[in-house]
């Protein structure tokens, strides 16, 4: 397994934690150490007629909707936010179909944070889904990244680490470009128990916040520091974000069996729907297709 680390040469001034919150002057060096731990998730879904089992896309497309979010690599798999697990909950058009149709995950893709993006099929094992934070953060088994990613910090206690925000311009279209920037600063955090979370102020109101992490240093040998994943920054609601610390003393995470798809009743407008065919077990999941 490959961990994410950084050489300490030239970084000694950064290792002073005299303040609770302080921006790091050598941000590019820390960026290069953590950026490979992120990826863009593109998750699409279809809807299925509850009576006939027929699948539908929308407006001539095979998918009904697509949701983009930031994913995080760990040695045992990947971490995904709720947008990637239940994309229909963030799709305004689904509500009016929810009485007669169920949402069905269609295709899972990923790309590096590059400009332009290059999406590939994401190896995702739904039967390994584990909810780490209620309706906010999930873990899956995946072999897409060959075990590369953040090692986890499972220890409780006072942490002296770094907050790493991933942000983009509001006009950025993640279908074509993952032109992102990072805001990185030092912050002390005390982790007392598994599942602990604390609110954190969102930076830059004029930028779109995609997510973030809280990492802590682990000194492995002389001149080498390894950054371990202690917390994940996720949206609690439209106006607030929290740092969730689900790994502390967590050796036994219960597996989630599934989610309820039912929504409030709305008028149906079938003219928008695009018939795909009858639903078959495991059909259309993680299917490769050319989006050019």
Q: Is residue 278 part of a domain?
A: no
Q: Is residue 12 part of a domain?
A: yes
Return all residues near 125 (Cβ < 8 A) that are at least 6 apart.
Answer: 77, 140, 141, 142
Q: Is residue 264 part of a domain?
A: no
DSSP H/E element including 37: none
Q: Is residue 287 part of a domain?
A: no
Find tokens 């409030």 and name the residue.
Answer: 264
CA distance 150 to 78: 10
Phi, psi (degrees; rounded to nearest 5) at 95: -55, -40
Q: Is residue 100 part of a domain?
A: yes
pLDDT score, position 215: 94
Domain range for 134: 5-253
Tell me: the pLDDT tens digits for 37-72? 999 999 999 999 999 999 999 999 999 999 999 999
Tell me: the pLDDT tens digits for 112-134? 998 899 999 999 888 999 999 88
Would the pLDDT of 26 be above 80? no
Upper half-sphere CA count for residue 238 (Cβ side, 13 Å)? 1
Q: How many domains does the chain have?
A: 1
pLDDT score, position 271: 62
CA distance 114 to 286: 22
Please name which of 84, 113, 122, 78 lies closest in space to residue 229, comparing C-alpha atoms: 78
Q: Is residue 171 part of a domain?
A: yes
Structure tokens at 226: 């390894």
């Amino acid at each position: 397994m490959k961990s994410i680390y950084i050489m300490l040469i030239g970084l000694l001034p950064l290792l002073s934690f005299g303040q609770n919150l302080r921006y790091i002057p050598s941000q590019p060096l820390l960026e290069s150490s953590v950026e490979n731990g992120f990826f863009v998730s593109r998750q699409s879904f279809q809807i299925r007629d509850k009576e006939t089992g027929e699948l539908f896309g929308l407006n001539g497309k095979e998918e009904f909707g697509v949701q983009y979010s930031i994913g995080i690599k760990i040695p045992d798999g990947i971490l995904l936010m709720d947008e990637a697990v239940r994309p229909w909950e963030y799709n305004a058009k689904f509500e009016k179909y929810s009485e007669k149709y169920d949402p069905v995950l269609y295709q899972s893709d990923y790309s590096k944070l590059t400009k332009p993006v290059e999406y590939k099929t994401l190896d995702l094992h739904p039967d390994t889904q584990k909810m780490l934070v209620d309706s906010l953060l999930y873990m899956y088994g995946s072999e897409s990244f060959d075990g590369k990613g953040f090692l986890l910090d499972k220890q409780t206690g006072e942490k002296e680490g770094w907050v790493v925000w991933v942000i983009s311009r509001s006009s950025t279209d993640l279908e074509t470009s993952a032109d992102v920037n990072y805001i990185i600063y030092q912050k002390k955090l005390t982790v007392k128990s598994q599942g602990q979370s604390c609110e954190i102020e969102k930076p830059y109101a004029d930028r779109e916040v995609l997510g973030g992490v809280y990492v802590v240093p682990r000194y492995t040998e002389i001149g080498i520091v390894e950054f371990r994943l202690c917390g994940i920054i996720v949206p609690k609601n439209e106006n607030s974000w929290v740092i969730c610390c689900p790994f502390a003393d967590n050796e036994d995470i219960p597996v989630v069996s599934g989610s309820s798809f039912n929504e409030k009743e709305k008028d149906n407008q079938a003219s928008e729907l695009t018939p795909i065919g009858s639903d078959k077990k495991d059909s259309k999941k993680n299917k490769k297709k050319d989006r050019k």
